[in-house]
Amino acid sequence: MIALNSSKFMGAIRSFFDFNVRKEQTRCGVDVGWSHPASVCVICCLPNRALYSKEIHESEIHAVKFNPNSKMLATGGADRVVKIWDIAGGQLQDQQLLTGSNGGITSIEFDPSGVQVLAASFDGSAHLWRLGSRSSESLTGHKGKVTAARFKMSMHRVVTCSMDRTVREWDLNKGACVRSIPVPSYCSDVVCLDSYMISGHHDKKIRFWDSRSEFCMQEVTLEEKITSLCIDQDQTQLLSCSRDDALRLIDLRMGNTCQVFRDDGFKCGCDWTKAILSPDGSYCIAGSSDGTVFIWNARTGRLERSLSGEHSASVNAVAWSISGDYVVSVDRGKKAVLWSEY
Protein backbone atom coordinates (compact mmCIF):
# COMPACT_ATOMS: atom_id res chain seq x y z
CA MET A 1 0.00 0.00 0.00
CA ILE A 2 1.36 3.41 -1.00
CA ALA A 3 0.43 6.11 1.47
CA LEU A 4 0.25 9.86 0.91
CA ASN A 5 1.56 10.97 4.25
CA SER A 6 1.57 14.75 3.97
CA SER A 7 -1.01 16.26 6.35
CA LYS A 8 -0.88 19.50 4.38
CA PHE A 9 -1.69 17.61 1.20
CA MET A 10 -4.57 15.71 2.80
CA GLY A 11 -5.95 18.95 4.21
CA ALA A 12 -6.01 20.43 0.72
CA ILE A 13 -7.73 17.32 -0.62
CA ARG A 14 -10.39 17.39 2.12
CA SER A 15 -11.00 21.10 1.52
CA PHE A 16 -11.41 20.35 -2.17
CA PHE A 17 -14.05 17.70 -1.58
CA ASP A 18 -15.88 19.81 1.03
CA PHE A 19 -16.04 22.60 -1.53
CA ASN A 20 -17.45 20.34 -4.22
CA VAL A 21 -20.13 18.90 -1.91
CA ARG A 22 -21.36 22.43 -1.27
CA LYS A 23 -21.01 23.40 -4.90
CA GLU A 24 -22.74 20.48 -6.59
CA GLN A 25 -26.30 20.21 -5.30
CA THR A 26 -27.71 18.37 -8.33
CA ARG A 27 -26.48 15.06 -9.68
CA CYS A 28 -27.02 12.41 -12.33
CA GLY A 29 -26.29 14.33 -15.50
CA VAL A 30 -27.59 17.78 -14.51
CA ASP A 31 -25.38 20.54 -15.89
CA VAL A 32 -23.83 22.44 -12.97
CA GLY A 33 -21.43 24.57 -15.01
CA TRP A 34 -18.18 24.10 -16.91
CA SER A 35 -15.93 24.30 -13.87
CA HIS A 36 -16.97 20.88 -12.58
CA PRO A 37 -18.29 17.95 -14.62
CA ALA A 38 -21.78 16.70 -13.86
CA SER A 39 -21.91 13.24 -12.35
CA VAL A 40 -22.95 10.45 -14.67
CA CYS A 41 -25.75 8.04 -13.84
CA VAL A 42 -24.70 4.85 -15.60
CA ILE A 43 -24.21 1.17 -15.01
CA CYS A 44 -21.48 -0.12 -17.29
CA CYS A 45 -22.01 -3.36 -19.15
CA LEU A 46 -19.06 -5.73 -19.39
CA PRO A 47 -18.24 -6.13 -23.09
CA ASN A 48 -17.87 -9.68 -24.37
CA ARG A 49 -17.91 -9.56 -28.17
CA ALA A 50 -16.55 -7.47 -31.02
CA LEU A 51 -19.10 -5.62 -33.16
CA TYR A 52 -16.53 -3.99 -35.43
CA SER A 53 -12.85 -4.67 -36.13
CA LYS A 54 -10.92 -2.85 -38.83
CA GLU A 55 -7.68 -1.05 -39.68
CA ILE A 56 -8.70 2.62 -39.64
CA HIS A 57 -5.40 4.56 -39.75
CA GLU A 58 -2.33 4.41 -41.97
CA SER A 59 -0.05 3.63 -39.03
CA GLU A 60 -0.25 2.78 -35.33
CA ILE A 61 -3.01 4.35 -33.24
CA HIS A 62 -2.05 6.00 -29.96
CA ALA A 63 -5.27 7.57 -28.67
CA VAL A 64 -9.04 7.07 -28.62
CA LYS A 65 -11.85 9.01 -26.91
CA PHE A 66 -15.66 9.07 -26.87
CA ASN A 67 -17.48 12.39 -26.94
CA PRO A 68 -19.81 13.24 -24.00
CA ASN A 69 -22.97 11.83 -25.62
CA SER A 70 -21.26 8.51 -26.56
CA LYS A 71 -22.41 8.76 -30.19
CA MET A 72 -19.09 9.91 -31.57
CA LEU A 73 -15.49 8.74 -31.32
CA ALA A 74 -12.11 10.32 -32.04
CA THR A 75 -8.92 8.40 -32.85
CA GLY A 76 -5.38 9.58 -33.54
CA GLY A 77 -1.94 8.16 -34.05
CA ALA A 78 1.38 8.20 -35.85
CA ASP A 79 -0.15 9.26 -39.18
CA ARG A 80 -0.59 12.78 -37.72
CA VAL A 81 -4.36 13.04 -38.12
CA VAL A 82 -7.41 12.84 -35.86
CA LYS A 83 -10.38 10.94 -37.27
CA ILE A 84 -13.93 11.51 -36.07
CA TRP A 85 -16.33 8.58 -36.24
CA ASP A 86 -20.08 8.19 -35.78
CA ILE A 87 -21.22 5.04 -33.97
CA ALA A 88 -24.29 3.62 -35.70
CA GLY A 89 -25.57 0.07 -35.93
CA GLY A 90 -22.51 -1.31 -34.19
CA GLN A 91 -20.19 0.22 -36.77
CA LEU A 92 -17.71 3.10 -36.93
CA GLN A 93 -18.70 5.44 -39.75
CA ASP A 94 -16.12 7.97 -40.96
CA GLN A 95 -17.34 11.51 -40.35
CA GLN A 96 -14.46 14.00 -40.39
CA LEU A 97 -10.69 14.18 -40.81
CA LEU A 98 -8.84 16.73 -38.66
CA THR A 99 -5.44 17.79 -39.99
CA GLY A 100 -2.85 20.36 -39.00
CA SER A 101 -0.49 18.41 -36.76
CA ASN A 102 3.08 17.94 -37.95
CA GLY A 103 3.69 15.02 -35.61
CA GLY A 104 2.01 11.90 -34.34
CA ILE A 105 -1.03 12.32 -32.08
CA THR A 106 -0.45 11.16 -28.49
CA SER A 107 -3.70 12.01 -26.68
CA ILE A 108 -7.23 13.19 -27.52
CA GLU A 109 -9.93 14.87 -25.46
CA PHE A 110 -13.34 16.44 -26.10
CA ASP A 111 -14.42 19.56 -24.26
CA PRO A 112 -17.49 19.23 -21.96
CA SER A 113 -19.82 20.36 -24.75
CA GLY A 114 -18.43 17.84 -27.24
CA VAL A 115 -17.89 20.63 -29.77
CA GLN A 116 -14.09 20.98 -29.54
CA VAL A 117 -11.38 18.34 -29.88
CA LEU A 118 -8.00 18.76 -28.19
CA ALA A 119 -5.00 16.66 -29.19
CA ALA A 120 -1.38 16.48 -28.03
CA SER A 121 1.27 15.98 -30.67
CA PHE A 122 4.86 14.88 -31.14
CA ASP A 123 5.42 18.19 -33.00
CA GLY A 124 5.73 19.96 -29.62
CA SER A 125 2.24 21.46 -29.73
CA ALA A 126 -1.33 20.85 -28.70
CA HIS A 127 -3.98 21.32 -31.40
CA LEU A 128 -7.59 22.42 -30.99
CA TRP A 129 -10.33 21.88 -33.58
CA ARG A 130 -13.98 22.87 -33.60
CA LEU A 131 -16.04 20.08 -35.13
CA GLY A 132 -17.41 21.02 -38.53
CA SER A 133 -14.49 23.38 -39.17
CA ARG A 134 -11.35 22.55 -41.14
CA SER A 135 -9.14 25.08 -39.35
CA SER A 136 -7.29 24.47 -36.09
CA GLU A 137 -5.54 26.45 -33.38
CA SER A 138 -2.13 25.42 -32.07
CA LEU A 139 -0.64 25.90 -28.63
CA THR A 140 3.09 26.14 -29.26
CA GLY A 141 5.98 26.63 -26.87
CA HIS A 142 7.07 23.21 -25.66
CA LYS A 143 10.59 22.19 -26.69
CA GLY A 144 9.81 18.48 -26.74
CA LYS A 145 7.05 16.09 -27.72
CA VAL A 146 3.73 16.85 -26.00
CA THR A 147 2.54 13.64 -24.38
CA ALA A 148 -0.88 14.77 -23.06
CA ALA A 149 -3.28 17.72 -23.28
CA ARG A 150 -6.31 18.12 -21.00
CA PHE A 151 -9.07 20.66 -20.44
CA LYS A 152 -8.67 22.07 -16.94
CA MET A 153 -12.28 21.81 -15.69
CA SER A 154 -13.16 24.58 -18.14
CA MET A 155 -13.57 25.15 -21.87
CA HIS A 156 -11.06 28.00 -21.72
CA ARG A 157 -8.10 26.45 -19.89
CA VAL A 158 -5.84 23.64 -21.07
CA VAL A 159 -2.95 21.83 -19.37
CA THR A 160 -0.20 20.10 -21.35
CA CYS A 161 2.80 17.99 -20.37
CA SER A 162 5.88 17.20 -22.40
CA MET A 163 9.14 15.36 -22.75
CA ASP A 164 10.79 18.78 -22.20
CA ARG A 165 10.09 18.33 -18.47
CA THR A 166 7.46 21.03 -18.14
CA VAL A 167 3.75 21.10 -17.35
CA ARG A 168 2.09 24.14 -18.92
CA GLU A 169 -1.24 25.86 -18.47
CA TRP A 170 -2.83 27.72 -21.38
CA ASP A 171 -5.52 30.39 -21.62
CA LEU A 172 -7.48 29.63 -24.81
CA ASN A 173 -8.99 33.12 -24.90
CA LYS A 174 -5.49 34.57 -25.14
CA GLY A 175 -3.99 31.65 -27.03
CA ALA A 176 -1.01 31.86 -24.70
CA CYS A 177 0.81 29.95 -21.99
CA VAL A 178 0.03 31.54 -18.63
CA ARG A 179 2.09 29.22 -16.42
CA SER A 180 4.99 26.81 -16.91
CA ILE A 181 5.99 24.37 -14.16
CA PRO A 182 9.43 22.75 -14.43
CA VAL A 183 9.33 19.09 -13.41
CA PRO A 184 12.24 16.77 -12.58
CA SER A 185 11.44 14.05 -15.13
CA TYR A 186 9.84 13.37 -18.51
CA CYS A 187 6.09 13.68 -17.96
CA SER A 188 3.98 10.97 -19.60
CA ASP A 189 0.48 12.08 -18.53
CA VAL A 190 -1.44 14.67 -16.54
CA VAL A 191 -4.97 14.96 -15.09
CA CYS A 192 -6.68 18.08 -13.76
CA LEU A 193 -8.96 18.82 -10.85
CA ASP A 194 -10.33 22.12 -9.55
CA SER A 195 -7.59 22.89 -7.05
CA TYR A 196 -4.65 20.75 -8.16
CA MET A 197 -3.10 18.81 -11.03
CA ILE A 198 -1.53 15.35 -11.03
CA SER A 199 1.33 14.32 -13.31
CA GLY A 200 2.92 10.93 -14.00
CA HIS A 201 6.62 10.60 -14.81
CA HIS A 202 9.35 8.32 -16.10
CA ASP A 203 11.24 8.62 -12.81
CA LYS A 204 8.44 6.41 -11.34
CA LYS A 205 6.79 9.29 -9.49
CA ILE A 206 3.26 10.68 -9.41
CA ARG A 207 3.32 14.36 -8.48
CA PHE A 208 0.51 16.53 -7.12
CA TRP A 209 0.68 20.24 -7.99
CA ASP A 210 -1.11 23.24 -6.54
CA SER A 211 -3.15 24.84 -9.35
CA ARG A 212 -2.16 28.36 -8.33
CA SER A 213 1.57 27.94 -7.96
CA GLU A 214 4.56 25.76 -8.87
CA PHE A 215 4.36 24.05 -5.48
CA CYS A 216 4.56 20.25 -5.53
CA MET A 217 2.16 19.18 -2.78
CA GLN A 218 3.14 15.50 -2.69
CA GLU A 219 5.07 12.76 -4.49
CA VAL A 220 4.18 9.07 -4.71
CA THR A 221 6.84 6.64 -5.92
CA LEU A 222 5.84 3.51 -7.84
CA GLU A 223 7.96 0.54 -8.90
CA GLU A 224 8.41 1.55 -12.55
CA LYS A 225 7.87 4.45 -14.94
CA ILE A 226 4.27 5.66 -15.26
CA THR A 227 2.59 5.40 -18.68
CA SER A 228 -0.83 6.91 -17.94
CA LEU A 229 -3.16 8.44 -15.35
CA CYS A 230 -6.97 8.49 -15.18
CA ILE A 231 -9.26 10.23 -12.69
CA ASP A 232 -12.79 8.95 -12.00
CA GLN A 233 -15.99 10.96 -12.56
CA ASP A 234 -16.30 11.89 -8.88
CA GLN A 235 -12.63 12.90 -8.71
CA THR A 236 -12.04 10.65 -5.72
CA GLN A 237 -9.90 7.89 -7.28
CA LEU A 238 -6.79 7.98 -9.45
CA LEU A 239 -5.76 5.07 -11.68
CA SER A 240 -2.16 4.68 -12.82
CA CYS A 241 -0.56 2.31 -15.30
CA SER A 242 3.16 1.60 -15.12
CA ARG A 243 5.87 -0.46 -16.82
CA ASP A 244 5.96 -3.04 -14.01
CA ASP A 245 2.80 -4.46 -15.65
CA ALA A 246 0.51 -3.13 -12.92
CA LEU A 247 -2.43 -0.77 -12.55
CA ARG A 248 -2.90 0.97 -9.20
CA LEU A 249 -5.99 2.67 -7.81
CA ILE A 250 -5.31 5.48 -5.33
CA ASP A 251 -8.10 6.72 -3.05
CA LEU A 252 -7.54 10.48 -2.95
CA ARG A 253 -9.76 10.95 0.11
CA MET A 254 -7.95 8.41 2.28
CA GLY A 255 -4.53 8.99 0.74
CA ASN A 256 -3.55 5.40 -0.01
CA THR A 257 -3.50 2.73 -2.71
CA CYS A 258 -6.68 0.69 -2.38
CA GLN A 259 -6.12 -1.82 -5.20
CA VAL A 260 -3.31 -3.16 -7.39
CA PHE A 261 -4.34 -4.91 -10.60
CA ARG A 262 -2.11 -7.56 -12.15
CA ASP A 263 -2.41 -10.70 -14.22
CA ASP A 264 0.18 -13.14 -15.53
CA GLY A 265 -1.01 -12.42 -19.07
CA PHE A 266 -1.00 -8.62 -18.82
CA LYS A 267 2.13 -6.92 -20.15
CA CYS A 268 2.31 -3.15 -20.55
CA GLY A 269 3.24 -2.77 -24.21
CA CYS A 270 4.94 0.64 -24.35
CA ASP A 271 5.74 3.86 -22.49
CA TRP A 272 2.39 5.39 -23.48
CA THR A 273 0.01 2.49 -22.77
CA LYS A 274 -3.23 4.02 -21.48
CA ALA A 275 -5.43 2.44 -18.80
CA ILE A 276 -8.80 3.90 -17.81
CA LEU A 277 -11.65 3.56 -15.32
CA SER A 278 -15.15 2.80 -16.53
CA PRO A 279 -17.55 5.78 -16.31
CA ASP A 280 -19.28 4.31 -13.23
CA GLY A 281 -15.93 3.57 -11.56
CA SER A 282 -16.68 -0.15 -11.32
CA TYR A 283 -13.96 -1.44 -13.64
CA CYS A 284 -10.37 -0.80 -14.71
CA ILE A 285 -9.41 -1.64 -18.27
CA ALA A 286 -6.15 -1.76 -20.23
CA GLY A 287 -4.72 -3.45 -23.28
CA SER A 288 -1.73 -5.79 -23.25
CA SER A 289 1.29 -6.23 -25.52
CA ASP A 290 -0.19 -9.44 -26.97
CA GLY A 291 -3.42 -7.71 -28.06
CA THR A 292 -5.61 -8.89 -25.18
CA VAL A 293 -7.85 -6.39 -23.38
CA PHE A 294 -8.05 -6.94 -19.60
CA ILE A 295 -10.94 -5.76 -17.38
CA TRP A 296 -10.62 -5.83 -13.57
CA ASN A 297 -13.22 -5.19 -10.89
CA ALA A 298 -12.18 -1.89 -9.29
CA ARG A 299 -13.62 -2.81 -5.89
CA THR A 300 -12.39 -6.38 -5.50
CA GLY A 301 -9.26 -6.29 -7.67
CA ARG A 302 -10.40 -9.48 -9.41
CA LEU A 303 -9.95 -9.96 -13.15
CA GLU A 304 -13.50 -9.97 -14.54
CA ARG A 305 -12.84 -10.58 -18.22
CA SER A 306 -10.20 -10.71 -20.92
CA LEU A 307 -11.06 -9.96 -24.56
CA SER A 308 -8.86 -11.62 -27.17
CA GLY A 309 -8.86 -12.76 -30.79
CA GLU A 310 -9.21 -9.38 -32.50
CA HIS A 311 -5.93 -7.56 -31.96
CA SER A 312 -2.70 -9.07 -33.25
CA ALA A 313 -0.56 -6.14 -32.05
CA SER A 314 -0.03 -4.35 -28.75
CA VAL A 315 -3.09 -2.40 -27.58
CA ASN A 316 -2.06 1.20 -26.93
CA ALA A 317 -5.28 2.75 -25.64
CA VAL A 318 -8.89 2.04 -24.69
CA ALA A 319 -12.04 4.15 -24.26
CA TRP A 320 -15.35 3.40 -22.54
CA SER A 321 -18.48 5.30 -23.63
CA ILE A 322 -20.15 7.49 -21.01
CA SER A 323 -23.38 5.58 -21.69
CA GLY A 324 -21.60 2.42 -20.51
CA ASP A 325 -22.54 0.46 -23.64
CA TYR A 326 -19.33 0.39 -25.68
CA VAL A 327 -15.59 -0.07 -25.32
CA VAL A 328 -13.13 0.73 -28.11
CA SER A 329 -9.54 -0.51 -28.15
CA VAL A 330 -6.83 0.63 -30.59
CA ASP A 331 -3.49 -0.95 -31.38
CA ARG A 332 -0.03 -0.60 -32.85
CA GLY A 333 -1.24 -2.40 -35.98
CA LYS A 334 -3.64 0.39 -37.13
CA LYS A 335 -6.75 -1.43 -35.90
CA ALA A 336 -9.73 -0.31 -33.83
CA VAL A 337 -12.16 -2.77 -32.23
CA LEU A 338 -15.63 -1.81 -30.99
CA TRP A 339 -16.76 -4.10 -28.15
CA SER A 340 -20.19 -4.51 -26.59
CA GLU A 341 -22.11 -6.78 -24.22
CA TYR A 342 -24.65 -7.61 -26.92
Distance CA 314, CA 326 (A): 20
* 45 inside domain: yes
Task: Assess if residue 302 is contained within a domain.
Answer: yes
User: Please, are residues 161 and 177 in contact by the beta-carbon 8 Å criterion?
Assistant: no
- Rounded distance, CA 17 to CA 31, Å? 18
The pLDDT confidence band at residue 58, using thresholds 50, 70 and 90, is very high
**Does 43 reside within a domain?**
yes
Read off the pLDDT of residues 224-242 as tens digits, 9 standing for 90 and up: 999 999 999 889 999 999 9
Residue 18 CB neighbours (<10 A) = 10
Domain assignment present for 1: no
Question: Which of 155-159, 162-166, 173-177, 213-217 shows the highest mean pLDDT?
Answer: 162-166
DSSP state string for 211-265: TTSS-EEEEEE-SS-EEEEEE-TTS-EEEEEETTTEEEEEETTTTEEEEEE--TT
Closest-CA residue to 260 (of 226, 297, 207): 297
pLDDT of residue 153: 73
Q: Does residue 165 lie in a domain region? A: yes
Over residues 44-64, the mean pLDDT reads: 97
- pLDDT tier at 214 (50, 70, 90 boundaries)? confident
Supply the mean pLDDT for the chain. 89
Give the pLDDT of residue 4.
56
Which of 39-48, 173-182, 260-269 has the weakest average pLDDT?
Answer: 39-48
pLDDT for residue 184? 94
The pLDDT tens digits of the residues spanning 169-195 come to 999 999 899 999 999 999 999 999 878
Q: For residue 154, is it within any domain?
A: yes
46 in any annotated domain: yes
What is the percentage of the chain residues whose pLDDT exceeds 90?
78
Total number of domains constituting the chain: 1
Rg of the Cα atoms in the chain: 18
CATH code: domain of residue 119: 2.130.10.10
pTM beyond 0.75: the answer is yes
pLDDT attached to residue 26: 28
The residue range of the domain holding 274 is 7-340
